[in-house]
Structure 1
Amino acid sequence: MEKTKQTKKISSSFIYFFGAFGGILFGYDIGVMTGALPFLQRDWHLTGDASIIGWITSSVMLGAIFGGALAGVLSDRLGRRKMILISALIFMIGSILSGLSPNNGQIYLIVVRTFLGLAVGAASALVPAYMSEMSPAHLRGRLSGINQVMIVSGMLLSYIMDYLLKGLPHMIAWRLMLALAAVPALILFIGVLALPESPRFLAKSNRLAEAKQVLSFIRKPEEVAGELEQILTTTKREEKALKTTSWSTLLDSRYRPLVIAGIGVAAFQQFQGANAIFYYIPLIVEKATGHAASEALMWPIIQGIILVIGALFFLVIADKFDRRTLLMLGGTMMGLSFILPTILNAFVKTHPMVIVVFLCVYVAFYSFTWAPLTWVLVGEIFPLAIRGRASGLASSFNWIGSFLVGLLFPIMTASMPQEMVFAIFGIICLLGVAFIRFCVPETRGRSLEEIEQEAAGKLKVSELDTDYDA
């Protein structure tokens, strides 16, 4: 008889909280370099060396490109939970090694941060997949949005830590800022030790009793049998495909539209330029005002507060509005926020801080649209047969965009006005709106199995068009 490994009931709140806690790692590392960079520049005399600044900042994203893809493949074999634990360990080691960087060890820091990026990329792929597989369809947007709350909370935490540590000698301040990232990684590791595996992964691995027990933790008793049967139906239908799944499977005509939609959304989120703000806001303020970047560390905190408020607002509206509607609204306003300062400057000389105000508007709309919904869509749009590989590939494309933005932004602003650089990002935002309009299906309120069946033409759209307001 099949036995379960988990006998003690785990509360659904605990599962959802620590299931999404990996976002803290993602967010902390996005934010921490914002404050550490001005001190690192001063310590290693890098001011004006745009290429080295870009490489140190973006090296995490370089590692994340590979971390997302590897985690996607390995999570299909080892499970989501085990891979999150491995990611937390890598993150702890990489954070401590970053803080121990030798003086003027540019190459050392780039290599260590690339290693650290493996964990960041893995977390960005694994957490949405885990959360979407644990969440009921009518709450999936809201519960997956907890991941975004964790990300922006990690960013705000890093901004606050940077601000509190700025009074230390510059050679100590940036090292401590980077090393303290090991603390949330340790908390994540301890919390995930108590988490169950995804019921869909368990069912796919023929561990049915465990899958049923996990569903009993997170569903009403009367829902367990029906959902398990639905999962098994999908699993059986895909069983043959699962045995022969390879990267080429992503190009199969059954899956190609959803693969393009998921990867496209993930790529557009980064090419729209958000991380240029999050990584370089002190330097942006320095260029706009002439004041030292190390004295502008209150601005990241302001951006972090906006992000947290926006992420919490998303939890309220997540399952009340269609995904596509929110993404098109957000993309339009983000694009205008980037383009308008350039237009205004063409007709009248504006105050240098005008661009920073418009960046705050951008962050506000980004915080409750593209920031959380990208990962909601990545977690729910891919069919079971390709979910691990496709979500990993989407994460990798997201990190490719983040890597290129992090690397090229300081080089671009060194060669052209900041307003022009942001105008380019604004055009990309509007192209993203067009992509959503024509290439991305609506997924709100539909089970993962229904999304897959509809994409395969096995369900009529009319059967799914129901009011799913939570």
Structure 2
Amino acid sequence: MNVMAKAEKKISSAFIYFFGSFGGILFGYDIGVMTGALPFLQADWHLENAASLVGWITSAVMFGAIFGGALAGQLSDKFGRRKMILMSAIVFVVFSVLSGVSPDMGEASAYYLIIVRMLLGLAVGAASALVPAYMSEMAPAKARGRLSGLNQTMIVSGMLLSYVVDFLLKDLPGEWAWRLMLGLAAVPALILFLGVLRLPESPRFLLRKGDEAQARKVLSYIRKNPAEIDQELASIKETAKEERQANQKTSWATLFSGKYRYLVIAGVGVAAFQQFQGANAIFYYIPLIVQKATGQAASSNLMWPIVQGVILVVGSLVYMWIADKFNRRTLLMVGGAVMGLSFILPAVINWMMPNMNPMTIVVFLCIYVAFYSFTWAPLTWVLVGEIFPLAIRGRASGLASSFNWIGSWLVGLIFPIMTASMPQEAVFAIFGIICILGVIFVKTCVPETRGHTLEEIEEQGTNHGRVKASNPEN
């Protein structure tokens, strides 16, 4: 027992935060890997004219993630964050390998891969829910903003990693290329599993299970002095008591009562807009977008995903630098406006100049990704984490996450169907209009949360509910 305790004492806070957030690598890798694998998969299985099947293969992970996040959240309250992250890593390894060894059985192969990727999506959704929860419970309050930025950086780094792997494997025979691209997702999942084996459980979960001694030991790894540990233990106990009381008094109907409706609509709306604005259409399909614009084979355009990945990583670092220097609403509105124009202007230019250089649309997509990377991408989850009052936080956060994954799934599913039936510029113009609607939504429906305590934000919602009740015509 003493030997084990000494071994645990060697765990550094850097190790805990690195592997605590490493699940973001898995999340990002599987978002990005299909971008490079799809052109080879289409050619190998002759799916060039099967837009709906292509959409389902690409979006199946997001469909599974809708359920994986909700399921993992509930199970982690019972079994612990650490154990559920380990389980997610195992599921990720198994179904990544099964994706790579998909049998070649004609059209039946596509349905096999769709099912396997749906099951893989359970792990992706679980990682997206468990990693932020674990990190927020391990991090000191003053570092939570930066560490939420670290999670975003891990996600986009995972996407960039997948793009680089796709590029390095592109010269293999087509059948081997896409299989290795999908199968190699098991490698970061295995690294995560081995790293998390050494991680401690969340002190909040340990206290909830009555193990105060172990919770104190875990906090001693990541806090500087005993007084800070005592203060945090007391704070966790008080918060856990308030949460138990809140959960006993609330139901799903509570979310849309007059007191909370304003804040729930704001948080869930921002989470939904983030996906319906079309970002994932770029991340999933950029080689096919370039192919349609230029006529060059998609498999020869795998440098463009790397360009997008580098922009995303740089943008996540920019966000960590500016996060607390500008209002949330300002960044969301500026970002959304530029994103919308980046989608709409190519359609306008193409209408005015039919001989427009086909790469113009790709340049505008890069501008879109740049502004998305340091505004809507990270700020959506910062705002969702801040805006929901304690009494409804669990249910409201789950609802926001579900709407976000539903949007991600639908964009991945319908984009190839839309581009098969209308000009590419028109499809992006539709997403551009949604971006502008998102700006209007933020302007009219979302309160500012920067610099406000959670109690002040809740009071804004309460006051807004009172105003609406006294002026129902508004």
Check if 1:144 corresponds to 2:148: yes
Tell me the amino acid that sits aligned with residue 130 of structure 1: Y
Distance in 2 (CA, whole Å) between partners of 1:5 and 1:101 is: 44
1:341 is matched with: 346
CA deviation after TM superposition for structure 1 residue 391, in Å: 3.1
Q: Is the 8 A contact 1:96 1:179 kept in 2?
A: yes
Q: How far, CA to CA, are the matches of 1:282 and 1:301 in structure 2?
A: 11
State the one-letter code of the partner of 1:112.
Answer: V
Name the aligned partner's letter for residue 317 of structure 1. Answer: I
Indicate if the aligned counterparts of 1:129 and 1:378 stay in contact, CA closer than 8 A. no
Contact 1:145/1:314 (CA < 8 Å) preserved in 2? yes
The one-letter code sitting in structure 2 at the alignment partner of 1:100 is V
In structure 2, relative to structure 1, the CA distance for the partners of 1:15 and 1:246 (3 Å cut) is farther
Q: Which residue identity is paired with 2:244?
A: E
The aligned runs of 1:161-200 (5 Å cut-off) are 161-200=165-204
Letter in 1 for 2:135: M
How many Å apart are 1:163 and its aligned residue?
Answer: 0.9
Per-residue deviation, 1:149: 0.9
Deviation at 1:128, TM superposition (A): 1.9
Call closer, same or farther: CA 1:31–1:445 in 2, change over 3 Å: same
Q: Which deviates more from structure 2 when the two are superposed, residues 57-66 or residues 14-23? A: 14-23
Unaligned runs of 5+ in 2: 464-474
SS in 1 for 2:317: helix
Does structure 2 conserve the Cα–Cα contact (< 8 Å) formed by 1:254 and 1:456? no
**2:24 match: secondary structure:** helix
Q: Tell me by how many angstroms 1:422 deviates.
A: 0.8
Aligned partner of 1:278 in structure 2 is 283
Aligned residues: 454
Unaligned runs of 5+ in 1: 461-470
Higher relative contact order (CA 8 A, sep 6+): 1
For residues 168-219 of structure 1, the C-alpha deviation after alignment (integer angstroms, 9 at most, x for no partner) is 1111110111000000111111112222233333344443333333333333
Mapping of 1:53-452 within 5 angstroms?
53-103=54-104, 104=106, 105-221=109-225, 222-243=227-248, 247-248=252-253, 250-251=255-256, 255-349=260-354, 350-384=356-390, 386-444=392-450, 450-451=453-454
Q: Residues of 1 paired with 2:366 and 2:36: CA distance?
A: 18
Range with greater deviation from structure 2 (305-314 or 134-143): 134-143
Q: Which amino acid aligns with 1:91?
A: F
SS of aligned partner of 2:324:
coil
Assess if the C-alpha contact under 8 Å between 2:137 and 2:202 holds in 1.
yes
- Once the 2 structures are TM-superposed, how far is the Cα of residue 67 of structure 1 from its aligned partner? 0.8
Q: Decide whether the 8 Å contact of 1:19 with 1:127 is kept in 2.
A: yes
Q: Distance in 2 between matches of 1:440 and 1:77?
A: 34
Q: Contact 2:263 / 2:387 at 8 angstroms: preserved in 1?
A: yes
Q: 2:458 aligns with which of 449, 455, 459?
A: 455
C-alpha offsets along residues 198-243 of structure 1, whole Å, 9 cap, x if unaligned? 3333344443333333333333424333333333323222323335
Q: Is the 1:72–1:125 Cα contact (8 Å) retained in structure 2?
A: yes
| Offset of residue 8 of structure 1 | 1.8
Q: What SS does the corresponding residue of 2:370 show, helix, strand or coil?
A: helix
CA distance in structure 1 between the partners assigned to 2:363 and 2:461 by the alignment: 48
Q: CA deviation at 1:453?
A: 6.8
TM-score, reference length from structure 2: 0.89
Q: Percent identity?
A: 72
TM-align CA RMSD: 2.5
Worse-superposed segment, 8-17 or 210-219: 210-219
CA distance in 2, matches of 1:251, 1:323: 24
